[in-house]
Each structure stands twice: as structure tokens, then as C-alpha cells.
Structure 1
């Protein structure tokens, strides 16, 4: 799937707003059955609000939003949105849950009101690869991180707000647990040798890329590439010409690599992504 051809990635230029947009509108990598819809997350005026933020050249996200850790960065972006979007109110973030012995037993990522409805939101942004693309074989750049474990963990987290500790934590926020809808925001990409994912666990429109081994002999003549830092995984790359290189300059270190082409705005835009292992 050539995810980078969507018009929004041609339109947005601020790298933080592009990353924010990906958290809001990118497809899920896998389905939980409790997805928070893009329509609900964006609201009626959310897309216009994104464009206004991008067009305001003096706008700067709060300094504490940026983070070298991908997960924290994605969380900070979503927290900014929930606190500032026209239709949203952030009620709690990283809400700690304690049992009757006052032991910490978990957290709720976000409690927020969207369009008048109250949600417990769990966020996950993951990048997994396997030669055959099958869920049981999918691992991250850290091989200890795997898809099936993350699916199980997220399913557990989605139930936190309905257990006694979660109900008490919500009550402390002035929220009735019975009125709360538990939802997920799952983002990321899946990589396989073929570049496609064929399994019922994956979302039909999931973003996909190609898994490569650094020992493979690859002929990428006359193409340009950009090695993505971890905090730039979220959105399709848009980089200046000074940052792009030929494939033979990429090196053997594992990571995510974007193939890029120059567009009329003078920047190089991502058209395909690789996971190099």
C-alpha cells in the first residue's frame, strides 16, 4: 500500500503537525474491536484545526511534546490534541490505578471527553516485521518486542477502567465508570518480504512496508533514501535534499528507511518504507 500518496501528506509541512496527523488519521495496524473512529477523534472541525496549526508559521508545540522515545512522543502528541482540539477535553493522562493495598496495578493512558462522550483511550504505536508477515512471527527492531504480546497487553489495558481500581480512579476524576467507553488508538506499520500483510488480525488498510536483510544484494540505483530517526517513524517522511542519500550510504544498522522522491515543493517525500534487519 502506497500510504504516502494520500493528499494530506502533500499538504502538511510542519513535521510535528504531520506526526500529530498520523496519530489522528492513520489506519490501525491491527483491530481490537474497540477502535476510536477517526471521525470521533477529529471532530467536525478537527481537520480544519490541523490545517490552521500547520499554516501558522509562528506556531510551536509545547516544548515538552518532543521526545526521542517514539511511544512518549506519540502520547504527548495525542495529549496535546485532546487538551486543545475544539471538540475535546482532556480529563486525565497516565491515570494511576491502585488496589486496596495501595499497590500500583496499572494506568489509564487517557481519559477524555470527545463530542460530549467520555472515553478511556489506550494508545499503541508499533512497527513490526516478519519475513512471512504472519502475526506470530512479527517482532520489532527490538526482538523482545512482539506483536502477539502487545495485542494481549493492550486488550488487558482496555479493561482497566472497568475493574475496581479503574472505577475508583475515574471516580477521583469525577467520572462515572458506567458512562465511560473504552477505546483504542492503534497506529504503526507491518513489514514483510512481499510488502503486504495477509491475515485476519491485521486491519485491511494497515500501512505496510518491505522487510530487508542487510546481507541481501539490492540494486537501488538512481533512487534516494532517508534513514528515519525513531521519533520520525509516525508520518511519511518529508525532508530536504541535504538529508537524502544513495542506498550504499545507508549502512547495515537496523532501522526504518524511507525511499523518497522530490516533489514540486522542493522537498523529498516518502513513497515506500523498508525495515532493515
Structure 2
């Protein structure tokens, strides 16, 4: 049985989602930040005959995330998505979104899989003798962060939306940025987004092309990870570059699954 969820479902829903907290970082964060009564967001649950969750569907503006641990009502969720005015992105756990491929009448773009990895403790983080190089960004640093990202191929092009979202996450404390500067310019950074009570997503790991292979990004990551772990949060990130994956694993991150994204 599929039905729309409300605040009355919150406790059992969170219990279900937190069994794989990193995999459900975006859903948990959106619920904590926006609740159940916003017109830009809907939550739907699929239940078995005993009232236990089998799957969850989140619509956030024109994006959809689907989560399930086993069998669920694929065609029921597909019918719900067909009823949405516009779906630009469908994403979710590997093994879940594939079930929607080739369903008649459901637009589903080409699948782009990435690795999802997780860091639970600081045991593999290198000791830091001097953290004075690494600084925590404030709202006034946004333009300098954008300047770095605009010349880093992984993040180009940087748009007005990128600037607004970065400024917003610093203002609302839903994300943070650590950086290293030289002569007043930011030359390396690591940041988070979608922070919630149990986890955070690492993004924006970047170093100026003229300052690479000096360990700056790793140092920013180390300080960032230590602060979040000290707050009792799990850390997770996506990667599809084996070289980047090797760096993350040296810090203690471990692969926990595949995350699929389909852009329509």
C-alpha cells in the first residue's frame, strides 16, 4: 500500500531511514529542514501488510529520490511520478532506480552511477601538528570561494545559483567550508552540504591548479572531517574518479554502495 506521509509518520519513518543514514542523507535533511507541509516537497511511503516500510519516495521541487531496501511497489511509485508536473532528476540507491527503466510512460534519463562512501570515525585520519593554515569560511568569503571554483575544472561553470546556494548554506548552518589561502586568495577548499542531525555530505573538494600535489585538499578534508565527527555525525561523499577515491580511502572512507542519478 502506498500513501502520502505526514508528520504523524515521522518517528517510524526516521527509524527506517536512519538504518542507512548516509544513503538517506538528502531525505533526512529535507524532512528536518522543511517538514511535511511544504508545497515544493512531498513524501510517499510504501507499506507491507503489517504496516512496515518497504520504500520511500521524496519529491523536492522537480527532483525525486527513491529509497528501498528490498522489494517495493515499483509500478505504484512510477504512477505517482507520472502524475508530477515535471521531473528533471530521479536518483537513488543502486539497485532501486534501475527498476524504473523501460516502464511505459515514465521518462527516465540515462543512468549515471557514482560510488557512495562513508566515514564513521577518525582512526585513519593523519595527525595534524599545525591547523593554522586551515580556516573556516564565513559568508564574507563566498566570493573568494567562487573565484577558486570558477577556475577548477570539476566545478565550472560557476553560476549565480552556485553562489546563492553556498551563501545560503553558510547562513543557515546547513553546510560549512574550510579553506587554505595564500596572498588573500583561496587556493584550496573542502565543504559540506545537506547537513542533518546524523550525517553530512562532503562536496567542493578543490585546489587551484598551480597549488596541487601539496596535500592542501587533504588537509582541508582532515580538519573538516574531524570537526563533524566530533559532533557525532557520519560523513559521506560521492565519487566517480578512481584517483579521488584512493585519496578518500586513505582518510578512512569506505564504499557503501552505488548512487544512481538519471537526468531527464
TM over 0.5: no
Query: Greater relative contact order (Cα 8 A, min sep 6): structure 1 or 2?
Result: 2
User: Structure 2 length as normaliser, TM-score?
Assistant: 0.30
